[in-house]
Structure 1
Amino acid sequence: MQLEAFKSARILIVTDAWRPQINGVVRTLESVGKTLVEAGHEVHYLTPERFWTVPVPTYPEIRLSLATGSAVAKQIRAIEADHIHIATEGPLGLLARQYCIDRQLGFTTSFHTRFAEYLAMRMPVPQDWTYGYLRWFHSAAARTMVPTPSLRDDLLARGFSNLTLWSRGVDGNRFRPGPKTWFVDLPGPHLLHVGRVAAEKNIEAFLKLDIAGTKIVVGDGPDCARLMRAYPEAVFLGYRHGEELGALYRSADVMVFPSLTDTFGNVITEALASGTPVAAYPVTGPVDVLSDPKAGSMDADLNLAVARALTLKRADARAHGERFTWAASATQFFTALEPLHAPQHKLRASSVQ
């Protein structure tokens, strides 16, 4: 069913992840919101932009809100939403969750990020503790939206419940096949990585590849300076956006996705839509997105995955990338939303399980 066929609704999305952050969560929330608005719905965002914030230790580009419960409640009441979706498990997400529970309002959540693994990389916090918090957080929601079947199965095994799929899309106009306009003076093949330059992205596995050609990194983050010193032969371009980013994808021979912890990997679909095959490990995200072996290659040996990806046809990558649309993603999201005043038996307990 098309989004336009649904009765117009006012939707509030609460998120701790927002601009100026550049990541898949922000891109997804913006893209789905834009698609919903174009279909006649009203979308509001409650983000850290409205409050004082502090930087996350060791990751200053991410800032956490210092909002109070009363300030969040005032913002939520002013919007008079039909649906509330809580996208993140941070300070704003917690306050919005409590607001809904206190008033017995129905709401949904989404699971975007493996915080347990990310936190364990930076601090001596057992993953079981963090997953316990995440399980508690999402247990109060009518539904928790997850991007892939493999992540759903993993979370079910960890005791999560009421999970529903919410896939991702790609802008097929911005990310499209075309001529190679970058890297023409660099030795080929041209291997590209796009994403935050941080420990959880496992970029060093890409930079250590024993394969001919030039490795190009697009993005920035806390590990950038260290990796630039350690791998001076690689090309680091920093953040790129819009048409320039699309041209970089089109100019690469393979996009290498070495992450072991992503829950989807929006950059995979961007590369595919640009006609660029993808090489990755066979883990959550790639195993769900790269379902057609003609579009990408997965192997526990990333060298082998890259070698096979270099033999794939760009037209096949593009054809597979066209399967992912923001219209389909927004429809999944909208149909999974919960009315604020849902029947009481559908509201979930808020106590720790």
Structure 2
Amino acid sequence: MSSLRILIATDAWFPQINGVVRTLSNLSNELQNRGAEVEMVTPSDFATVPCPSYPEIRLALARPARIAERMARFDPHVVHIATEGPIGLAARRAALKSGRAFTTSFHTRFPEYLRRRAPIPESATYAYLRWFHRPAAACLVPSSGMVTLLENKGFNRLVTWPRGFDRAVFHPRDGIDLGLPRPIFLTVSRLAPEKNIGAFLDLDLPGSKVVVGDGPSAAALRQRYPDAHFLGAKTGEELGRVYCGADVFVFPSKTDTFGIVLIEALACGLPIAAYREPGPLDVVGEGAAGCLSDDLTEACAAALSVDRAAALRRADDFSWKACADVFLSTVEARLPGVASEAASLS
């Protein structure tokens, strides 16, 4: 039996550090470890230009004909279009023109992001996204809350697609001292307007506020909040130690579709304080791993009394294995001619 060939087209890839890149890179690794052949179509394959208002992100000058050549040469059993940018558009056009069925995924609430940066109505952006995803055999969505939100906006063929974390990196460590007054309230995020970091830093909280991450808002936030502790971008073991040295993980975003940092924090035994939004609702829910509230100060205060063991138990519900399992079961059920190859990897 030939191995399952999977082509994944994405506008988000290294050196970017975000949830889309982590999801796709871990999915690719998991699939390859099971014996699949995975070909990634990414911005590194094309000339790029800076994204307006966010030059750290490069937009690929992707041509459908070039991607069509890649598809024909690789002849994938599965085409997955992960993002709705230039590469996603070119891959969508190439797949439709060649008659290849494909799946998509919804990672980012672009309508809400764009509204914070420009006077673009959310309704117009959602109309584009509905058009983009409509031909897909399935659209994979990070949380059940986002499935409900998108169904209410006219999207269809939606599948809830869980996320995971690296268990070798994100786990409890004893005796981590960040050298700051306690309690320590931590957030880990790209520092950009849509992440709502100011809502966290405006809170009247005891102890210390710590911010890990970088992005276009970093300089302005440092200037506006001189009493907060900005540690810059951190990954791997260094990030895991910061999680373990904090008392509460604060997630102020109202636009994230999931938030992988939430489960990384839980895996280190760090309780969550967040708004009642789709990502946190799926990760924390009504359980004992944190507190969700429309009042973020109230959520932070309540999270201080959460048992760290409850956070650890909740993290056990997430894994990259489960992420790959859902991906494979979806393509097996929704795409023609791949059932036997997909089933052999499940």
TM-score range with shorter-chain normalisation? over 0.9
- Does residue 167 in structure 1 map to residue 167 in structure 2? no
Shift of 1:342: 3.0
Give RMSD over aligned pairs. Answer: 1.6
Structure 1 window deviating more from structure 2 (291-300 vs 321-330): it is 291-300
Shift of 1:146: 0.6
1:258 match: 252
- Does residue 90 in structure 1 map to residue 85 in structure 2? yes
Shift of 1:162: 0.7
Uncovered stretches (5+) of structure 1, i.e. residues with no partner: 1-5, 344-353
2: CA distance, partners of 1:178 / 1:134: 42
Amino acid at match of 2:275: Y
Give the alignment partner of residue 99 of structure 1, picking from 91, 94, 101: 94
Amino acid at match of 1:290: V
**Partner deviation per Cα, 1:41-99 (whole Å, 9 max, x = no partner):** 12111001010000111111111111222222122222221100000000110111111
Q: Retained in 2: the 8 A contact 1:280–1:305? A: yes
SS in structure 2 of the partner of residue 186 of structure 1: coil
2: CA distance, partners of 1:156 / 1:138: 12
2: CA distance, partners of 1:276 / 1:340: 38
SS in structure 2 of the partner of residue 335 of structure 1: helix
Give the alignment partner of residue 275 of structure 1, picking from 269, 274, 290: 269
- Does residue 203 in structure 1 map to residue 197 in structure 2? yes
Give the alignment partner of residue 245 of structure 1, picking from 227, 234, 239: 239
Structure 1 window deviating more from structure 2 (288-297 vs 91-100): it is 288-297
**Partner deviation per Cα, 1:205-232 (whole Å, 9 max, x = no partner):** 1101111011010000011100100000
TM-score (norm 1): 0.93
Q: Retained in 2: the 8 A contact 1:85–1:337? A: no
1:323 match: 317
Amino acid at match of 1:342: P
Q: Retained in 1: the 8 A contact 2:7–2:41? A: yes
Shift of 1:341: 7.3
Give the alignment partner of residue 107 of structure 2, picking from 112, 125, 128: 112
Shift of 1:316: 1.1
- Does residue 236 in structure 1 map to residue 195 in structure 2? no
2:36 match: 41
1:17-166 alignment, distance < 5 Å:
17-166=12-161
Amino acid at match of 1:116: P
SS in structure 1 of the partner of residue 15 of structure 2: coil
Give the alignment partner of residue 301 of structure 1, picking from 295, 300, 319: 295
SS in structure 2 of the partner of residue 168 of structure 1: coil
Which protein has greater RCO, CA pairs closer than 8 Å, 6+ apart? Answer: 1
> When the two structures are aligned, how many residues end up with a matched partner?
337
Shift of 1:339: 8.8
Q: Retained in 2: the 8 A contact 1:83–1:339? A: no
2: CA distance, partners of 1:19 / 1:319: 31
TM-score (norm 2): 0.94
Q: Retained in 2: the 8 A contact 1:48–1:65? A: yes
Uncovered stretches (5+) of structure 2, i.e. residues with no partner: 338-346
- How high is the sequence identity, in percent, across the aligned residues? 50
SS in structure 2 of the partner of residue 337 of structure 1: helix
2: CA distance, partners of 1:67 / 1:329: 28
Shift of 1:290: 0.3
